[in-house]
Structure 1
Amino acid sequence: MKKFKTRHLTIIALAIALNYVGSNIALVLRLPIYLDSIGTILAGALLGPLAGALTATASSVLSGITTDLFALYYLPDGLLTGLLAGWFLYQHQRSKREIPLVAIGVALPGTVVSSLITYFLFHGITSSGSSMIVQLLSGLGLNQFASITLVQAGTDYLDRLLAIVIVTQVCYHLKKQIATL
């Protein structure tokens, strides 16, 4: 992506809106997944790693100053997600068998970062629904860091897998539509 064009900015704006709406749905419903990376992964897949990272940054800032202050602290996780989604998905058609592996590749580095953020800054208590699972595991005797890491790994993977499945379907249908124009 050498130069931003109007369509690039439009896609990034749409992706930011998708992240914002998704994150607020997850926040209000206290879902154990975040739904804040669909737009990031979409921008990364359509425009490349830098667009994915830019989308994640703008989404975190927007959510952080309007509805969920915690979103600002997890900006590094979003950056990694955007960069890795762009790296794995930009100009690559993935088969259905590859999608779970791509989700691991996108989710794992962010899981490490978000687990450390959750443990050291928030001691396992955040605005997401996954905090309840962390507290449940801690109450059952698992130490706090292991509880956080286990929950983050599971929820990050499911969140990224869902987002990648949605994005690959959108990209597939977009390519079909563009080919018919």
Structure 2
Amino acid sequence: MKRGLRYDFSLLALLLIPVGVSVNVVGYQLSSILKFPIFIDQIGTLFVSMLGGPWVGLVTGLMGNVINGMLNPVAFPYALVAMTTGFVAGLLSRWRWYTNIVGAVAACFVISIAAAIVKAPVTIAVFGGVTGAGSDLLTAALLVTGTSLIKSVFSTSIFTAVASTAIDVSVSWVILRKLPDRFLIKFNYGSPYVRKVATAS
């Protein structure tokens, strides 16, 4: 079956977007208030991507960062990172990577690399390599050792992306696996996660 924008944006998928955005905003605010060195602000994006696919995940990531940007302008440029995260996570759901623990772990690394590739240039181009987050300490430590700015920021981006994505994917995956089959089957990308198989009597 050919899958694209029209396929992804089903009514249920559209209704799931505000839920994902709300979870992202809560995660971002908690990370900011508690001064976490990483941001756990993509749980909603990943969860929606798993059930709604790449395009719905992309929109969820974008909308979450737009709202977060209204509260903290630093979040605006990183909308590109959130969109990439949502799209890649949705593609991996389409390819059924989350149906087992091995695939979910592998997905963490793929999503992390994709996010870091986008995040590092944004951090350098928009903020000069420093955003005021706790992860800047790692960037500073690398710079002191003589590492170039580009390598330092990219290394920090990889580290923070892996850490945050591991948490985001883990939480999203656990929630997904706890959902009842009658709920999962209603989504275009939900059927691979259905556990019960009806048998003829």
Q: Same fold (TM over 0.5)?
A: yes
Identify which of 128, 147, 155 aligns with 2:152.
147
Q: Out of 154-163 and 125-134, give the one that drifted further.
A: 125-134
Whether the 8 Å contact between 1:26 and 1:128 is mirrored in structure 2 is: no
1:43 aligned residue: 48
Q: Out of 139-148 and 41-50, give the one that drifted further.
A: 139-148
Query: Rg larger in 1 or in 2?
Result: 2
Identify which of 60, 68, 72 aligns with 1:68.
72
Alpha-carbon distance in structure 1 between the residues aligned to 2:8 and 2:135:
39
Whether the 8 Å contact between 1:27 and 1:129 is mirrored in structure 2 is: no
Alpha-carbon distance in structure 1 between the residues aligned to 2:155 and 2:37:
13
Residue 116 of structure 2 aligns with an amino acid whose one-letter code is T
Identify which of 166, 172, 175 aligns with 2:171.
166
Whether the 8 Å contact between 2:143 and 2:149 is mirrored in structure 1 is: yes
2:161 aligned residue: 156
Alpha-carbon distance in structure 2 between the residues aligned to 1:106 and 1:3:
22
Q: Out of 170-179 and 54-63, give the one that drifted further.
A: 170-179
- Shift in Å, 1:102: 0.8
Q: Deviations over 1:128-158 (max 9, x none)?
A: 3212221232234322221111110011011
**What are the ranges of 5 or more consecutive residues in structure 2 without an aligned counterpart?**
1-6, 184-193, 197-201
Equivalent pairs: percent with the same residue?
A: 21
Give the paired residue count. 178
2:110 aligned residue: 105
- Shift in Å, 1:10: 3.1
Question: Does structure 1 residue 8 correspond to structure 2 residue 7?
Answer: no
- Shift in Å, 1:161: 1.6
Whether the 8 Å contact between 2:24 and 2:45 is mirrored in structure 1 is: yes
Question: Does structure 1 residue 134 correspond to structure 2 residue 146?
Answer: no
Alpha-carbon distance in structure 1 between the residues aligned to 2:82 and 2:8:
22
In structure 2, the CA distance between the partners of 1:20 and 1:133, relative to structure 1 (3 Å rule), is: same
- Shift in Å, 1:91: 7.2
TM-score normalised to the size of structure 1?
Answer: 0.89
Give the root-mean-square deviation of aligned CA atoms: 2.0
Q: Deviations over 1:58-83 (max 9, x none)?
A: 11110111x22111101111111001
1:28 aligned residue: 33
Alpha-carbon distance in structure 2 between the residues aligned to 1:103 and 1:2:
22
Whether the 8 Å contact between 1:57 and 1:79 is mirrored in structure 2 is: yes
1:88 aligned residue: 92
Whether the 8 Å contact between 2:8 and 2:55 is mirrored in structure 1 is: no
In structure 2, the CA distance between the partners of 1:46 and 1:156, relative to structure 1 (3 Å rule), is: same
- Shift in Å, 1:168: 1.1
TM-score normalised to the size of structure 2?
Answer: 0.80
